[in-house]
Chain A
Amino acid sequence: MSKEKNNKSLNGAGVKPQKIRRRRVKIKPGKVILYFLVGCLLVFTAFPMVAMICRAFMPLSELYIYPPQIFVRHPTLSNFSELLTSLNSSTVPFTRYVFNSLWVTIVTVFLSVVICSMGAYGMVKHKPVGAATIFTIVIAALSFSSHVTKIPNYMVVSGMGLINTYAALIVPSLATAYNFFLVKQFAEQLPDSLLEAARIDGAKEFRIFWTIAMPLLKPAWSTLAVFSFVSNWNDSFSPLVYITSDAMKTLPLALQTMAGGAGVVARSGTVGAATLLTTAPTIIVYTIMRGRVMQTMTYSGIKS
């Protein structure tokens, strides 16, 4: 930053005005290559998504057709109705998995938002002794995946008798370093004056946090909510470890069982519909919250 500023001040006097002129719009080979590469990349990212959406609405006749079709010709909702009705007669209805996933994810997101925002606010605005050390540990915890700690976590969860409960999927994923980090970085720029004013008015500390800090931290905790929603909704490792009963499985695992297990090509329409129902919520949540996510990510850099 300082380098550019120095350059500016050094050369500022000697600006040659004739150098600043409008460039003509012309087609450059560099640009063509860039657009081509970006186009290819977009086709690569979008193709499976398009295929997934289309297959969910394909009637059976189109799913088994040769040559294989990507786009749906006669869209139908029969896959969805079949998914929600015919499977109800089997031992665990599909709606149960939807409920499991929704319940676990929503409770985790809510508690995680409260716990991480409180912690980050306390660390930034009250600066208790040890805050710096804690933050160093949080940064260190960003650099390894949760798989490292799964064995001791499993020992705690099974020791508390939580195997096959919703709590097993919720409690261990509440205090995530990543989430805490995001809110903490954002909270740094909260103005002290507002909090101080409330304190002079005699507001209790928790009230200040809840009624003044939380609304100001909204972009940060909405972002945390989006990321927490996405990672918990998609998490298939925790249920694999903590859940053994069919009725407690969440969508990703249940979907794999429905598709016939790992490595099996599932062509049935119900599986297509179930795949769409499993992937859609995260994309919808992200789309709604996009603006706030971008506002928060601006503060996400780590200075080392």
Chain B
Amino acid sequence: MSNAATAIKAKPAESKFRRFLRENKTGWGFLAPFMILFLVFTVVPVFVAMGLSFTNYNMIQTPDFTGVQNYKLLFLEDDTFITAVSNTLLFACIIGPAGYIMSFVMAWFISLCKHGRGPLALAFYAPSLTSGTAMSIIWLVIFSGDRTGYLNHILIKIGLVSDPILWTKDPQWILPVVVIISAWMSMGTGFLVFLAGLQNIDPELYEAGKVDGIRHPIQQLFYITLPLMKPQLLFGAINSIVNSLAVFDVAVAVAGFPSPNYSAHTIVAHLYDYAFTRFSMGYASAIAMFLFVFSFTLSRICMRIFRSDD
């Protein structure tokens, strides 16, 4: 700002446009690499996908406009899509809130601990750092369909079942198995945000609260901690929505692609199927748009819920 002011004094004849350029040059310069990549790979693609969703496009011929044909097919005739949506919703309803609440409870518990915060946090957060595809290999051993699977072994030993259950082959069990594994992996979503938020709350506020009779940890949680953590809660909620709607690699690694009877088919799996195995990009874009509108709307609702007043 200051060097801008001195420059104006020196050259009073400078046009408004030039001054505008000079004042913003540095900022735009710094932003340019990010903005170019962000526009090319995130912003423009949303609109391109939106446009493509109204066409028939196979990557070879030029797209031809078909109106809402894709959406009609998607919602009215594609039974697999309906399965994918209901599976994804089930995932999202369980993994999203469960992971979110567990993250918060665990972060809250750790913040109350006096010793061992680091190891506890690592033990809880480590699953979120692992690759879903890699850990599925271990989960498949746990959920193995014969007697040597850990879970079957335990269940047979305590007499809950007499024959081993085909966890990852039986359509009835695939979905719960994938839910458990995804929940295991997504419990840490938001955990770090919550932990940091909790550690950052001014201890004086709790002292002040004690004066007002807010003494029990649960009371402190609801009257002091949660209202102060709205921004962190919102960030955690958005991450948790995005993650829970994007279940794909664990489902594929555990149940195969396509899964038996489409029992672990998800929206992203459907998108992948149409886009990158059948190359019907128009139809796949309609699926992408559904995912976009859905997660965007849910995030907007969260922004309403966790609105900060200040």
Contact = CB atoms under 8 A, between A and B. Distances in A.
Interface of A: 1-5, 7-8, 11-12, 15, 19-20, 30, 34, 37-38, 41-42, 44-49, 51-52, 55, 64, 66-68, 70, 115-116, 118-123, 126-129, 131, 134, 137-138, 140-145, 147-156, 158, 171-172, 174-175, 177, 180, 196, 199, 205, 209, 230, 233-234, 236-237, 240-241, 251-253, 255-256, 259, 261-267, 271-272, 275, 278-279, 282-283, 286-287, 290, 293-298, 300-304
A2 B130 contact: no
A263 B254 contact: yes
B126 A144 contact: no
Interface string B124-158: 11110111111111111110110111100100010
Of residues B46, B134, B141, B308, which shows the largest number of chain A Cβ atoms within 10 Å of its Cβ?
B134
Given A155-B59, A230-B129, A262-B253, A134 B31 contact: yes
B300 to A, nearest CB: 8
B102 interface: yes
Give the one of A116, A236, A296 with max B CB within 10 A.
A236
A237 B249 contact: yes
A302 B302 CA distance: 11
B72 interface: no
Contact of A290 (B30, B120, B122, B231): B122
B20 interface: yes
B118 A290 contact: yes
B208 A8 contact: yes
B165 interface: no
Given A66-B148, A279-B134, A301-B197, A205 B26 contact: yes
Contacts of B195: 294, 297
Contacts of A294: 192, 195-196, 199
Given A149-B41, A153-B41, 12 more contacts: A2-B310, A20-B210, A45-B124, A134-B35, A152-B48, A175-B35, A199-B2, A205-B29, A252-B133, A263-B256, A278-B131, A300-B197
A63 B252 CA distance: 25
Given A144-B295, A230-B129, A304-B307, A298 B196 contact: yes
Nearest to B146: A265
Contacts of A116: 34
Q: How large is the interface on B (under 10, 10 to 19, 20 to 34, 35 or more residues)?
A: 35 or more
Contact of A119 (B30, B123, B153, B231): B30
Nearest first, the 9 A-B pairs at minimum CB distance are A301-B231, A122-B30, A128-B27, A119-B34, A126-B27, A143-B299, A297-B196, A152-B45, A175-B37
B84 interface: no
Q: Is the interface of B mostly helix, strand, loop or mixed?
A: helix
A34 B109 CA distance: 8
Contact of A151 (B24, B137, B252, B281): B281
Contacts of B299: 142-144
Contacts of A296: 196
A275 B31 CA distance: 39
Interface string B247-282: 011001111110000000000100110011000010
